[in-house]
A and B are shown apart, each in its own frame.
Chain A
């Protein structure tokens, strides 16, 4: 729900700004405790991760369920956060289990009860099945995973193609994906939804700049750089437009992200009203080769110095202490 709707529905709501730094610190502490259990920890987001506990019974002298219960207790005591845990025999089911009785939940889906557990769940339970697919499935009379379980894989594939096969496997609780601790962030992005839909290029570009700073900030802090830039727009009619551009060299500079994003935006800002804009980088890699001098862009070195200077001042005096002019708030006419 966009903020303006929330405000309208609940004018007396108190709105707190998020404190990313605090979340990140806690996230790191939690991650460290997870790693005490198993090296196979695959972070999903700042506050979620998959752990593969296969074969750890002997090491911890306890079953995975016991180990996890101890982990939850330890996190509560040492970090001061409550966690929800889902234990199962694959990623798909573990994720579902973790969502079952939040907060401070602990759910187990065993192999024996997998089919019966999934049978009464709606098809939307499967990732990849969105509103549109579930609507078209409902038209064909398919609403629960139990119905899918009773069908032949061949028929589903014949009718829905690849998605049919996907649905059939997951409806039976099959998920072959492994827990991969090296599955690093494939992209880093930031987006914002507007209070009121925007069509003007200048206004969209103004919304884009702080997002570029945000993405750049995350890259710089992680010592990473992105080799390509993608722009995301959502129209008033909820249609998503994505555009991508490869960079000549990987970057972590907000200025470079903005310039690429603006170029892509220019082609899309042709009168359509947008409700959301986002920018991100992909082809993530180490920052060692980021932003080299560019022989075709004599001004690039200067811009890099400017950004480094801004970063240095901000590190000392705070984020609002200095910034580029394009980051200033303008009152929209």
Chain B
């Protein structure tokens, strides 16, 4: 293997793949990135066994071939090379080393046998559909904050993606919950997604995909089987195992009979909750909403710290009601609402509360109240 590649292109691709590589690895080869020079391109592959990423960068290939080198080390080297340099990568020392040359800099990195690099083949992925990057960003952004970190209920450690057959319109739905809050977002079902199985995409995959599609304009191609998911866009392919478990029947916990509607200015509400919650005890983070016609008083009391309260003018015509929430959860939801108006639909102080973005009918949140 011998090739020359622009530092910028190499750094960008390395940046994409290196974050998949765990900092600590019990299997040494998983710390390495697989470099494969073929045709006009260098393919870079990294994996943690569950998640694999391949990115491609254009290069001048003098001799095709492959090698594996420590991913973070190579990334750090390339990052520190002067901007605009041309980087030459060459397999040297009977294949035991990769020599890196750029300007006056010379490095050699120890390799591990490329044959030992785990296969990242995903097998058959029978379902395939396109989704606009902007839509995928929306699905992820509006749900990922609710992903659980609880180890025992591992099936909550991701976003549940599935096709919902509605009476009027079919939708692609993303759902996440940690038991305290639930986020559900949908979009019109893309062509080809009609028969997809419901899948749980693990948190790490969600994070990597989201990071990499930040700048993507076009479509992302999604491929699925019962056990794996793949996202392909630009020169990047991300493949991940799915979480093997069944997502709870979330429809049953979404309230349908709530009758008290509260409408607030999202920013005003968010900031007030944020201010008042300064007082709340670290452990519970509880704030109380006291609703009466036309106003809500947000308050917090802590035996150690003191008290706080703030009154907001709101649209509310229901009966007076006092209800407590974890301030963190209110803030998370308020942050994810894009529009100016936030609507809460309540029943009583102990039942789940619905939260909606008044500018976006596709997103829906459920919050469990706390006793205050």
Whether A298 lies near B152 (C-beta < 8 A) is no
Whether A295 lies near B179 (C-beta < 8 A) is yes
Partner of B178, one of A248, A260, A288, A298: A248
Whether B352 lies near A295 (C-beta < 8 A) is yes
In whole Å, how far is B292's beta carbon from the nearest beta carbon of chain A?
24
Which A residues, 274 to 305, have Cβ-Cβ distances below 8 Å to chain B? 288-289, 292-298
Cα of A249 to Cα of B153 in the assembled complex, Å: 13
* Interface status of B217 (Cβ within 8 A of chain A): no
* Interface status of B249 (Cβ within 8 A of chain A): yes
Residues of A within 8 A of B252 (CB): 298
In whole Å, how far is B174's beta carbon from the nearest beta carbon of chain A?
15
* Interface status of B74 (Cβ within 8 A of chain A): no
* Interface status of B107 (Cβ within 8 A of chain A): no
Whether B179 lies near A297 (C-beta < 8 A) is yes
- Given the known inter-chain contacts A248-B179, A296-B178, A298-B249, please indicate yes or no for A260 contacting B370, CB distance below 8 A: no
Residues of A within 8 A of B220 (CB): none
Residues of A within 8 A of B351 (CB): 293
Q: Interface of chain B, helix or strand or loop or mixed? A: loop
Whether A295 lies near B284 (C-beta < 8 A) is no
- Given the known inter-chain contacts A296-B148, A298-B252, please indicate yes or no for A249 contacting B371, CB distance below 8 A: no
Residues of A within 8 A of B181 (CB): 295
Residues of A within 8 A of B253 (CB): 293, 295, 298
* Interface status of A63 (Cβ within 8 A of chain B): no
Which A residues, 247 to 285, have Cβ-Cβ distances below 8 Å to chain B? 248-249, 260, 263
Whether A294 lies near B152 (C-beta < 8 A) is no
Residues of A within 8 A of B150 (CB): 248
In whole Å, how far is A286's beta carbon from the nearest beta carbon of chain B?
10
Cα of A297 to Cα of B153 in the assembled complex, Å: 10
Chain A's closest residue to B371 (CB) is A288
Whether B248 lies near A289 (C-beta < 8 A) is no
In whole Å, how far is B328's beta carbon from the nearest beta carbon of chain A?
14
* Interface status of B177 (Cβ within 8 A of chain A): yes
Chain A's closest residue to B284 (CB) is A289
Chain A's closest residue to B155 (CB) is A296
Q: Mark B212-249, 1 if CB is under 8 A from A, else 0.
A: 00000000000000000000000000000000000011
In whole Å, how far is B290's beta carbon from the nearest beta carbon of chain A?
18
Partner of B352, one of A249, A293, A297: A293
* Interface status of A156 (Cβ within 8 A of chain B): no
Cα of A248 to Cα of B326 in the assembled complex, Å: 14
* Interface status of A49 (Cβ within 8 A of chain B): no
Other than the given A292-B350, A295-B366, 4 more pairs (CB < 8 A) read A248-B179, A260-B152, A263-B152, A298-B250
**Can you report 17 A-B residue pairs in the complex whose CB atoms are below 8 A from each other?**
A245-B152, A248-B179, A263-B152, A288-B371, A292-B350, A292-B370, A292-B371, A293-B253, A293-B350, A293-B368, A295-B181, A295-B253, A298-B248, A298-B249, A298-B250, A298-B252, A298-B253
